């Protein structure tokens, strides 16, 4: 099947690249005890999916382009907007060892009282396998715990 031959209306992009990336991520997540929760396609294109696990595990949020080349796997946490901006320098210093991307305001409501702190890793779909997925999740969970410690 050609990359552009996938039917539209699936909520995960228009090409086989995005379908393959989502299927790969769903499979690896399931192997590691995470359940996929489909979401609608973002307004800017690409795809988005949530992953839930039992217990105290945070929700993982994955986004990616229609091409499926990479996946941005992250943890999103609502935090008081003023607090996250006041502690931004401390937060970035504390998160540097984790080598995660930090978006201090990833939420859709840019004027609300809460911001959405997103910590993420970009993973290339071609190299994803269970070990990479588990290590990425462990790194994100540790980084999110450190962020909570800084923002409390």
Q: What pTM, to 2 d.p., does this model score?
A: 0.85
Q: How many CB atoms within 10 Å of residue 143? A: 22
pLDDT (mean) for 116-134:
95
pLDDT digits (tens, 9 = 90+) for 24-82: 999 999 999 999 998 888 888 899 999 999 888 899 999 999 999 999 999 999 999 88
pLDDT (mean) for 96-117:
90
Pick the CATH number of 16-151 from 3.40.630.10, 3.30.1460.10, 3.40.50.720, 3.40.50.880: 3.30.1460.10
pLDDT band at residue 137 using 50, 70 and 90 as cut-offs: very high
Percent of the chain, pLDDT > 70? 90
Percent of the chain, pLDDT > 90? 70
Domain residue ranges in the chain: 16-151
pLDDT band at residue 149 using 50, 70 and 90 as cut-offs: very high
pLDDT of residue 112: 86
List, in order, residues 6 or more apart from 39 with CB less than 8 Å away. 11, 48, 49, 50
pLDDT band at residue 15 using 50, 70 and 90 as cut-offs: low
Helix axes 16-31, 130-151, angle to 10 degrees: 80
Q: Between 8 and 66, whose confidence is greater? A: 66
């Amino acid at each position: 099947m050609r990359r552009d031959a996938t039917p539209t209306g699936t909520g995960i992009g228009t090409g086989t690249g995005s379908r393959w990336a989502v299927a790969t991520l769903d499979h690896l997540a399931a192997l590691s005890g995470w359940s996929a929760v489909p979401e609608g396609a973002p307004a800017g294109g690409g795809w988005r999916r949530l992953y839930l696990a039992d217990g105290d595990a945070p929700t993982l949020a994955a986004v990616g382009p229609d091409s499926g080349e990479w996946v941005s796997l992250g943890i999103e946490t609502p935090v008081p907007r003023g607090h996250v901006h006041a502690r931004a320098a401390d937060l970035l210093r504390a998160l540097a060892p984790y080598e995660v991307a930090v978006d201090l305001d990833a939420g859709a409501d840019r004027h609300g009282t809460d911001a959405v702190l997103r910590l993420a890793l970009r993973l290339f779909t071609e190299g994803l396998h269970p070990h990479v997925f588990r290590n990425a999740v462990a790194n994100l969970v540790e980084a999110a715990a450190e962020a909570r410690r800084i923002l409390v």
